[in-house]
């Protein structure tokens, strides 16, 4: 059991750093998109700095964390007795479904990262702010599933975070309108 707990600890550490990277990279995407609208030379200075920050975050923290979290997860699931028992449980199937969606999210972030590194701005800052909420919803769903170990009860947690996200977005829109009125 100690062996399993070491694997689980390492898995959790790298899941935390993976999510930290995903949350922060999207924030850097927002800053890069905003920098594209700045006048020269501010635009070039900011874009260069955000590219460096994004590159380091993405390749030194986020990708390695994703790979290591995955390695320790596979190790726990396929090479321990407890993991093989969990693979038979419905909640684990739902969790793995969310993990698959997380990989898709990560790959989409990779695509956006590449575009911004080439100075291709294809998304708005509002889209990026909403995009950041996707990782939050995945995180909530997975945590509730792992803690409750029930493929049904996690729904309440996800519904709660969706309602919370909607309220944040409504607050964001309200604040944006106030800002626009104050500018004029």
* Residue 39 DSSP one-character state: P
Percent helix, strand and coil across the chain, each to the nearest 5? 85, 0, 15
> Is 11 annotated for ligand binding?
yes
Neighbouring residues of 4: CB distance < 8 A, sequence distance ≥ 6: 76, 80, 82, 83
Give the residue among 153, 154, 148, 145 at the shortest CA–CA distance from 95.
145
Query: Is the sign of the CA dihedral 57, 13, 146, 169 positive or negative?
Result: negative
Cis omega (within 30 of 0) for bond into 41: yes
Q: Around 100, how many Cα atoms within 13 Å sit in the side-chain half-sphere?
A: 6
93 is in an annotated binding site: no
Q: How far is CA 108 from the centre of its chain?
A: 11
Bind-site residues for heme: 11, 95
Bind-site residues: 11, 95
């Amino acid at each position: 059991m100690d062996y399993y707990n070491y694997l689980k600890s390492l898995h959790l550490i790298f899941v935390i750093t993976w999510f930290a990277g995903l949350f922060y990279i999207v924030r850097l995407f927002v800053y890069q998109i905003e920098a594209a609208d700045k006048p020269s030379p501010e635009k070039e200075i900011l874009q260069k700095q955000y590219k460096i920050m994004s590159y380091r975050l993405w390749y030194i923290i986020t990708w390695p964390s994703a790979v290591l979290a995955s390695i320790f997860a596979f190790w726990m699931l396929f090479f321990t007795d407890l993991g093989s028992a969990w693979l038979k449980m419905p909640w684990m199937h739902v969790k793995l479904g969310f993990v698959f969606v997380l990989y898709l999210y990560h790959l989409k972030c990779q695509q956006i990262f590449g575009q911004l590194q080439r100075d291709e701005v294809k998304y708005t800052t509002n889209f990026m702010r909403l995009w950041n909420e996707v990782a939050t919803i995945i995180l909530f769903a997975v945590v509730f599933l792992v803690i409750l170990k029930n493929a049904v009860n996690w729904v309440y947690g996800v519904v709660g975070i969706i309602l919370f996200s909607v309220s944040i977005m409504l607050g964001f829109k309200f604040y944006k309108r106030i800002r626009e009125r104050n500018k004029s």
